């Protein structure tokens, strides 16, 4: 069994960020802004952001590598035995908000944690794990797009456990990206996994391989969708509904998202953490879509747990 190696993970994540940004810049036609930052408690990151691009209204592809002497509460909520351990965490996280409402918002993230043993326990071993996934948030119902995204997710997972593992990660995504206070999903799902390797049921090479497979499949899962839909016409009605649905995105990220909570609790760079929020958002009191409309179809047929492939 290969021992966990944070150096090769970091090298992979930096390359992943560069590859994704290069592809997105070519697609949009505008360059991403680059901000390198340091964290006072240890570590730092590289934020790559586009705002008011030709296609993306806002997007970010962030790398971070932070360390500290005590695990944040969001990282120990499900593993309280790790409270007080020093830690090292690194990852790439991206969110893309297109301007065209017919093009979905997308999120992808992969991350690696190591919780180091207490200094007074020489026999204890480091606890490490990978997490990540990707999910799609459409504003208008286009079934071919959702099926393509889910087929790409499935293909990334099948070599690492087959149909059963894909089903597990798909179901986990459906349950994770769910707004409990609204009793509705954030979007149409995709993949989600966490604690991969923490229970010793999977070795480092396999866990890292699955994580890479998911991350490397992102561009093929998303870019064909927006390439096909970027020129679809839209008007004030579609933009208004997009802004309303973006409100759900904000609610999830600020109330439930573990990555957002970890970043804020660990003293990460706030501007980088909150780049995931869309630039234009609206809330309405007790709004309901008109029966039979495309907006109603999104609720009735797409914001449901479904098998898409």
Of the candidates 65, 78, 102, 107, the residue annotated as catalytic is: 107
Output the DSSP codes for 152-211.
HHHHHHGGGTHHHHHHHHHHHHHHHSEETTTTEESSSEEEEEEEETTTSSS-HHHHHHHH
> Is residue 78 flagged as an active site residue?
no
The answer on whether 181 is annotated among ligand-binding residues is yes
Q: What is the length of the chain?
A: 309
Task: Kindly report the three-state secondary structure assignment for every residue of 80-135.
Answer: HHHCCCCEEEEEEEEEEEECCCCCCEEEEEEEEEEECCCCCCCCCCCEEEEEEEEE
The answer on whether 188 is annotated among ligand-binding residues is no
The answer on whether 110 is annotated among ligand-binding residues is yes
d(CA 116, CA 90): 14
The answer on whether 93 is annotated among ligand-binding residues is yes
Q: State phi, psi for 133 to the nearest 5 degrees.
A: 140, -175
User: Does the CA dihedral 141-142-144-146 come out positive or negative?
Assistant: negative
The answer on whether 269 is annotated among ligand-binding residues is yes
The answer on whether 65 is annotated among ligand-binding residues is no
The answer on whether 267 is annotated among ligand-binding residues is yes
**Could you identify the residue written with the tokens 């944070």?**
6
The answer on whether 97 is annotated among ligand-binding residues is yes
Cβ neighbours around 123 below 10 Å, total: 5
Determine contact, residues 35/50, Cβ cutoff 8 Å: no
d(CA 50, CA 62): 11
The answer on whether 148 is annotated among ligand-binding residues is no
d(CA 30, CA 54): 7
List residues with catalytic annotation: 107
Point out the annotated binding site for substrate. 93, 109-111, 267-269
Point out the annotated binding site for a divalent metal cation. 97, 107, 150, 181
Point out the annotated binding site. 93, 97, 107, 109-111, 150, 181, 267-269
């Amino acid at each position: 069994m290969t021992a966990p190696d944070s150096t090769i993970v970091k090298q992979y994540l930096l390359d992943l960020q560069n590859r994704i940004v290069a592809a997105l810049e070519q697609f949009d036609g505008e360059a991403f802004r680059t901000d390198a930052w340091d964290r006072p408690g240890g570590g730092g990151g590289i934020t790559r952001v586009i705002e008011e691009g030709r296609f993306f209204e806002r997007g970010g592809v962030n790398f971070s590598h932070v360390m500290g002497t005590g695990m944040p509460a969001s990282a120990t909520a499900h593993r309280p035995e790790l409270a007080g351990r020093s830690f090292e965490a690194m990852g790439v996280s991206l969110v893309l908000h297109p301007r065209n409402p017919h093009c979905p918002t997308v999120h992808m993230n992969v991350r690696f944690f190591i919780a180091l043993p207490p200094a007074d326990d020489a026999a204890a071993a480091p606890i490490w794990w990978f997490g990540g996934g990707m999910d799609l948030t459409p504003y208008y119902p286009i079934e071919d797009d959702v099926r393509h995204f889910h087929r790409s997710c499935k293909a990334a997972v099948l070599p690492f456990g087959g149909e059963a593992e894909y089903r597990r990660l798909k179901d986990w995504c459906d349950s994770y990206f769910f707004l409990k206070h609204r009793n509705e999903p954030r979007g149409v799902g995709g993949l989600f996994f966490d604690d991969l390797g923490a229970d010793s049921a999977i070795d480092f090479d396999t866990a890292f391989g699955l994580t890479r497979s998911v991350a490397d499949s992102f561009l093929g899962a998303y870019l064909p969708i927006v390439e096909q839909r970027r020129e679809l016409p839209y008007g004030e009605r579609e933009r208004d509904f997009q802004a309303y649905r973006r409100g759900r995105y904000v609610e999830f990220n600020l109330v439930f998202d573990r990555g957002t909570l970890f970043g804020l609790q660990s003293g990460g760079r706030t501007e980088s953490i909150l780049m995931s929020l869309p630039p234009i958002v609206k809330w309405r009191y007790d709004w309901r879509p008109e029966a039979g409309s495309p907006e109603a179809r999104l609720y009735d047929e797409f914001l449901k747990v479904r098998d898409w492939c």
